[in-house]
Structure 1
Amino acid sequence: MPAENSVEYTLKQAVQQLQESGSDSPSLDAAVLLCHALDKPRSFLLTWPDKILDAQQLAAFDDLLQRRLTGEPVAYIVGEREFWSLPLKVSPTTLIPRPDTERLVEIALDKAMQMEGDILDLGTGTGAIALALASELPQRQVTGIDLKEDAQQLAQSNASALNLSNTQFLAGSWFEPLAAGTEFALIVSNPPYIEKEDPHLTQGDVRFEPLSALVADEKGLADIRHIATQARDYLMDNGWLMFEHGFEQGEPVRELLRSLGYDQVATYKDYGDNDRVTIGQFSSLK
């Protein structure tokens, strides 16, 4: 039986509360929050399970735990989330980077290897996609754009912290901040794609994320349509456009891209075997 107020005891109590509250990752949540409260790495919890926590440490942890028990995402509580092995600062003004979005990065890297040219990330948020690509392609310039200045500044701060100098982040609506004639080999986006009436908006972490980054008209396709239409003016010849989208949107996104003149249209699965990323290639010389 672990001693009361030890690391092991405190974690077990927290895991039980988180399980009862409906967390789908109670052990991970408790560990991340306790590490944050103690300002220690995860290895500390394994190395010192018998360490007795003082009143100040217990109070700091309890404050964090209570926030999580109300449903607030761990990433917002601790202000950080890892993506593509990069530590990224996050805030409630941006979406929380998710593992499935790494599929978009993988596919983008594959296409980027096939042609030279710069890369554009629309709706960049924390800068997760742009920074992952910039970290793997140090000779390429990667631009990220977000409507919110707070998000743009956060992405720039993440780039600076990671020392990724081959990036720039701009504030504005989609392509608006770009100079006329700017072209990219690859345009990627994880835009708003959820319907306003989608029940998932009232569940889990999504309840705390900005609706403007989640919801789109036309059954979630309005922003995808806008980007796909405008992207044709910003893609190099035979450049690639690719989207992350909802698991039921593969077919309508493929139809949309084909209707706008894109070739080589294809949809890729995420790690849960759901349609998640659709791409298309555009030739400006048709």
Structure 2
Amino acid sequence: MSIAQALRDAAARLQETSDTPRLDAELLLAHALGLDRNDLLLRQRELAVPSGYRALIERRIAGEPVAYIIGMRDFWTISLHVTPDVLIPRPDTETLIEAAIEHFKDRPPARILDLGTGSGALLLAALDQWPEATGLGVDISTAALAVARGNAERFGLDSRASFCLGDWGQGVTGPFDLVLINPPYIARDAALAGDVLHEPQGALYAGAQGLDDYRRIAPMLPRLLTADGMAAIEIGYDQRETVSALLSDQGLSVACRSDLAGHDRCLVATLPGTC
């Protein structure tokens, strides 16, 4: 079977499982061949379909996320190693980096904190963006921290990135110019489908309203921020007002940024008198 035919057949089989069946088919075939997707598409006439490809497609049909099957996910300017111990980084979360770039357009942040670092996506993307900065990633999961440390080493950022086991900002000594936070924010009884069913539940759910972790994080932020620093906090599409109120109650100024789909996605929190 040719590469072109294998991709057509796989995409047809994946239509009921995936919103991006052709892309999934290409990524899985590139992984089976030990190539990146661009190489696969450029060289497909000279390549043969590997024997392991069918098994990868079966795993995807069973619902396993592509990122976990191939062990990689692109985020911002980096390609991260991911495992089922961490959330899969998503383009929506890049809104936090965009907000930080806007805030620090006239000066770079020197010290960065990533609470709930997971794979290290936000921290390492920020350190790649600002090569003079240093940062700390905190997570409650030792398995997630192992993934983050491995990613830092892969990118040669381990000299500027440190990681520690912790419960949000408890015991963390500030202040930081930039605090990045992507906490659990899904309500306990919310009906989920797709890739999230395979992701770590502790990184997804946050009580009856999805607000439990915001309530714990908000009081920590004033002491963690420099006078002209900012916190970029991911929210669910319908949580702008409730989470903004939690932050405002701590004396923080709050603004909101939307993701590419136009959904409220990132709250920017600053100390009064900053912008």
Interval containing the TM-score (normalised by the shorter chain): over 0.9
What's the secondary structure of 1:194's corresponding residue?
coil
2:97–2:122 contact (8 Å) kept in structure 1: yes
Once the two structures are TM-superposed, the CA of residue 14 in structure 1 deviates from its matched residue by 0.4
Residues 196 and 218 of structure 1, relative CA distance in 2, 3 Å threshold: closer
Which secondary structure state, in structure 1, belongs to the residue aligned with residue 223 of structure 2?
coil
Which AA in structure 2 matches 1:139?
A: E
Letter in 2 for 1:273: G
Whole-angstrom CA distance in 2 between matches of 1:231 and 1:218: 23
Task: Give the 3-state SS of the residue equivalent to 2:113 in structure 1.
Answer: strand
Query: Scaled by the length of structure 1, what TM-score is found?
Result: 0.89
What residue is the counterpart of 1:46 in the other structure?
41
Conservation of the 8 A alpha-carbon contact between 2:110 and 2:132? no
- Checking the alignment, whether the CA contact within 8 Å between 2:87 and 2:118 is kept in structure 1 is yes
- Give the number of equivalent residue pairs: 271
User: In terms of mean alpha carbon deviation, does 84-93 or 107-116 score higher?
Assistant: 107-116
Tell me how far 1:119 sits from its aligned partner. Answer: 1.2
Residue 167 of structure 2: aligned partner:
173
Aligned to 1:248: 238
- TM-score relative to the length of structure 2: 0.93
* 1:12 pairs with 2:2: no
Residues 187-244 of structure 1: per-residue CA shift (max 9 Å, x gap)? 1100000101111x2x010000001001102511111121111122222224322210
Q: Which of 118, 122, 129 is the equivalent residue of 1:129?
A: 122
Q: Say if 2:4 and 2:44, in contact at 8 Å, map to a contact too.
A: yes
Conservation of the 8 A alpha-carbon contact between 2:188 and 2:208 = no
Structure 2 runs not aligned, ≥5 long: none
For the aligned residue pairs, the C-alpha RMSD in angstroms reads 1.8
2:80 to 78, 81, 88: 88
Q: Which runs of 5+ in 1 are unaligned?
A: none
2:106 and 2:229 mapped to 1: Cα distance?
Answer: 10
Partners of 1:249 and 1:52 lie apart in 2 by 48
Aligned to 1:262: 252
Give % identity. 39
How many angstroms does 1:282 deviate by?
Answer: 1.9
Match of 2:136 in 1: 143
2:153 alignment partner in structure 1:
160
Query: Structure 2 vs 1, CA of residues 220 and 22 (structure 1 numbering), >3 Å: closer, same or farther?
Result: same
Letter of the 1:162 partner, please give it: F
Structure 1 position 283, deviation (Å): 5.0
- 1:167-196 Cα deviation digits (max 9, x unpaired): 1111121123524xx311221100000101
What is the one-letter code of the residue matched to 2:10? Answer: A
The residue identity in structure 2 corresponding to 1:13 is D
